[in-house]
Amino acid sequence: MSLKKFIQAETERLGFTLSGAARVEPPLHLSTYEQWIDSGLHAGMGYLATERAMERRANPAVIQPEARSLLVVALPYHSPASIPDSQANEAAGRVAAYAWGDDYHDIIPPRLQELGEALEKHLGRAIRQRPYTDTGPILERDFAQTAGLGWIGKNTCLISPRHGSYFLLGETFVDVEIEPDDPLTTDHCGTCTRCIEACPTGCIRPDRTIDSSRCISYLTIENKGEIPTELREKTGDWVFGCDICQMVCPWNLRFAKPEGDPALAPRPGIPRPVLREELRLTPQEFNRKFKGSPIQRARRRGYLRNVAVALGNQQDTSTVHDLAETLLNEPEPLVRAHAAWALGRINTLLARQTLEKALRQEPDPQVANEIRSALG
């Protein structure tokens, strides 16, 4: 069996639906990334712009000098269509589909390590490899396109003409000369602008970049502070991430399979969480429920902040008691502030009475300002 066919067979055995090889050389769209950083569109993700990170993204050979090839793989996850809205509870939130199951950071690297071990047996020698998945300074989508897995769409997602975009990328440097695959250079988005038009916050720019400061995924995950007031209503019921630009993509509507890798199968209560129950999660309960889940990245304070905003957007009067309890007794000021905003949105008599009571006892000046705004 040729080396290329062996790698394809092994990646399929390990659950990767797409795979390809690229040379270890500067990425094609490096200048686009550098301009994106220079424009400040990475928002609060300062780790993307450090000197070390920029150097390694510009020249991936620095990461592993002995590497001769970069293998890129794609692991499919369940699509949002696999859980219809009809199954959602009345006061339920939404979680991005990639985060429904176990954390992919715990799944992809071990499988890439196993791929390397199989490659060692096939070649009859030890190899040097270094696996990544969204964990190192590599322009993953750029190399995935170079390796022929898909093209970078207008929503900045990598889109496969055979599978859509519901998959996670991984890559591993290897000190093995592997014939590179042909890059996918055709833009199959054409004149379609569905993702741009569907984005509630207008974060998708015409040059195929994202204004992170307006992206719901950034606002609910990477953003560690308050969600800007003018964007809260636009986040809808998303409490971790967002799938809107993928849900409207014709390539997903036509070709994406509902079921993904079993390791990413939905955990009970995560795809459509009951918001009033989430709001009551103690630190211990949060850690227990989301152990080994990507949702841990938002931390409890960020997740409950998102839950409060979603409740405010739903304006369900039956949740006023839950939000009132949070505003009066929650130890995290960030959560109290967004609970106050939510109560102001619902604006029942009990909501106003709670806001007035909270204002008299609130020690944090920023939270007190939120309460005043809610009362106003």
CATH number of the domain that residue 374 is part of: 1.25.10.10
> Confidence band (pLDDT; 50, 70, 90) for 77?
very high
> Confidence band (pLDDT; 50, 70, 90) for 287?
very high
pLDDT for the residue 90: 64
Residue recorded with tokens 């589909």: 97
The H or E element that residue 326 is part of is: helix 320-329
Of the chain, the end-to-end C-alpha distance in Å amounts to 72
Rg (alpha carbons) of the chain, rounded to whole number = 22
**% of the chain beyond a pLDDT of 70:** 98
Residue 86 in this model has a pLDDT that exceeds 60: no
pLDDT for the residue 91: 80
Residue recorded with tokens 């990639």: 98
Report the 10 Å Cβ neighbour count for 359: 17
Domain-embedded: residue 136: yes
> Whole-number mean pLDDT of the chain?
96
Q: Is 134 a catalytic residue?
A: yes
CB 30, CB 138: distance < 8 Å: no
List, for residues 145-201, the tens digit of each pLDDT value. Answer: 999 999 999 999 999 999 999 999 999 999 999 999 999 999 999 999 999 999 999
Q: Identify whether residues 170 and 285 lie together within a single domain.
A: no
Domain-embedded: residue 283: yes
Partners of 19 in the β-ladder: 73
Q: Identify whether residues 14 and 155 lie together within a single domain.
A: yes
The H or E element that residue 359 is part of is: helix 349-361
Q: Identify whether residues 58 and 169 lie together within a single domain.
A: yes
- Domain assignment of residue 304, given as a range: 274-376
Q: Identify whether residues 12 and 146 lie together within a single domain.
A: yes
Mean pLDDT along residues 224-247: 98
Q: Residue 244 has which token pair?
A: 């809107």
3-state secondary structure of 228: coil
Cβ-count burial of 263 within 10 angstroms (0-12 exposed, 13-18 middle, 19+ buried)?
middle
Domain-embedded: residue 280: yes
Q: Identify whether residues 278 and 160 lie together within a single domain.
A: no
The domain boundary, picked from 174, 196, 228, lies at 174
CB 307, CB 325: distance < 8 Å: no
Domain-embedded: residue 303: yes
Report the 10 Å Cβ neighbour count for 348: 12
Q: Identify whether residues 152 and 36 lie together within a single domain.
A: yes
Residue 337 DSSP symbol:
H
pLDDT for the residue 45: 96
Partners of 22 in the β-ladder: 70
pLDDT for the residue 370: 98
Q: Identify whether residues 170 and 279 lie together within a single domain.
A: no
> Confidence band (pLDDT; 50, 70, 90) for 1?
confident
Residue 87 in this model has a pLDDT that exceeds 60: no
Type of residue found at 253: L
Q: Residue 141 has which token pair?
A: 């989508």
pLDDT for the residue 146: 97
Residue 3 in this model has a pLDDT that exceeds 70: yes
**% of the chain beyond a pLDDT of 90:** 96
The domain boundary, picked from 111, 142, 174, lies at 174
pLDDT for the residue 240: 98
Domain-embedded: residue 108: yes
Domain-embedded: residue 287: yes
Domain-embedded: residue 84: no
Choosing from 38, 134, 237, 261, which is the catalytic residue?
Answer: 134
The number of folded domains in the chain is 2
Domain-embedded: residue 184: no
The domain boundary, picked from 174, 196, 221, lies at 174
